[in-house]
């Protein structure tokens, strides 16, 4: 199958899809990651598969790992580091503003701006822009996408609602499923069952669910299709006991062989 028609179809679908509130997402058949598989999170740069690893997440700008189920990282609700200026120049109305009219910055990531998901028109535009990134993951050879920062509404000072972000997430899910790709929930632990039902997420990629006592929320929705990253060694055993797959990584997600690289499994 050629890739170009699929990519064009994805963009068209994004601009005309129904919202999450209109109807529950349709049942889809997409390739899911193997339950309980060895997992690695390589957003800082790809490197050869560690022994026993068969599921690998990498950034959308990277290539999937050969011989593994590939998960493609997409920042669907905030600007990527270094790209804020581009959004302000090309799509200023899609960046959320604070009371003073300045870009609304994620407190934990000062080089990321929150995207403004507050209206259907803006969600449609954001989906059309970032939906092409979702589609490019297929072209690169990934099997699934993870959409980060779904919980941006919780950092918006009340400017955004969970319903706004659910609607945008459902648009991403519809594109991924139309392309035959699975889509992973990222963030929003306490709303996992609602998100699975209304968005159509297929599995979960989580960060520090053991440290923050959130693993059970994800497991209740996705069973053993939960892939967790911990950044402190003391929580790895708890994560391994709680979810299907867990990995210990360094905060910078450094490639193997570089200073500070940490990798550990159950």
Encode pLDDT of 12-60 as tens digits: 455 455 444 444 444 558 999 999 999 999 999 999 999 999 999 999 9
pTM for the complete prediction? 0.91
For strand 53-59 and strand 109-113, is the pairing parallel, antiparallel, or unpaired? unpaired
pLDDT tens string 110-145: 899 999 999 999 999 999 999 999 999 999 999 999
Q: Which of 120, 155, 136 is nearest to 19 (CA)?
A: 120
Return the CATH fold of 3-17+31-265: TIM Barrel (3.20.20)
Secondary-structure breakdown of the chain: helix, strand, coil percentages, each rounded to the nearest 5: 35, 20, 40
CB 113 within 8 A of CB 79: yes
pLDDT tens string 229-250: 999 999 999 999 999 899 999 9
pLDDT at 102: 95
């Amino acid at each position: 199958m050629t890739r170009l028609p699929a990519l064009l179809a994805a963009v068209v679908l994004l601009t005309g899809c129904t919202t999450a509130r209109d109807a529950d997402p349709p049942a889809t058949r997409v390739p899911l990651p193997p339950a309980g598989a060895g997992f690695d999170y390589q957003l800082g740069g790809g490197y050869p598969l560690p022994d026993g690893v068969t599921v690998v997440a990498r950034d959308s700008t990277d290539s999937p790992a050969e011989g593994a189920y590939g998960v493609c990282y997409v920042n669907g609700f905030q600007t990527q580091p270094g790209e804020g200026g581009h959004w302000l120049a090309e799509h200023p109305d899609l960046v959320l503003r604070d009371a003073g009219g300045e870009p609304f910055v994620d407190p934990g990531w000062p080089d990321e701006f929150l995207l403004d998901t507050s209206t259907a028109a803006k969600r449609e535009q954001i989906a059309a822009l970032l939906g092409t990134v979702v589609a490019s993951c297929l072209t690169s050879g990934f099997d699934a996408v993870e959409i980060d920062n779904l919980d941006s509404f919780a950092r918006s000072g009340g400017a955004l609602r969970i319903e706004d972000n659910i609607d945008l997430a459902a648009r991403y899910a519809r594109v991924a499923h139309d392309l035959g790709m699975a889509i992973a929930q990222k963030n929003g632990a306490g709303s996992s069952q609602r998100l699975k039902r209304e968005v159509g997420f297929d599995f979960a990629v989580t960060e520090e669910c053991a440290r923050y006592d959130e693993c059970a929320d994800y497991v209740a929705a996705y069973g053993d299709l939960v892939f967790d990253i911990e950044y402190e060694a003391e929580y790895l055993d708890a994560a391994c006991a709680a979810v299907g797959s867990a990995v210990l990584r360094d905060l910078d997600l450094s490639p193997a062989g570089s200073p500070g690289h940490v990798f550990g499994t159950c």
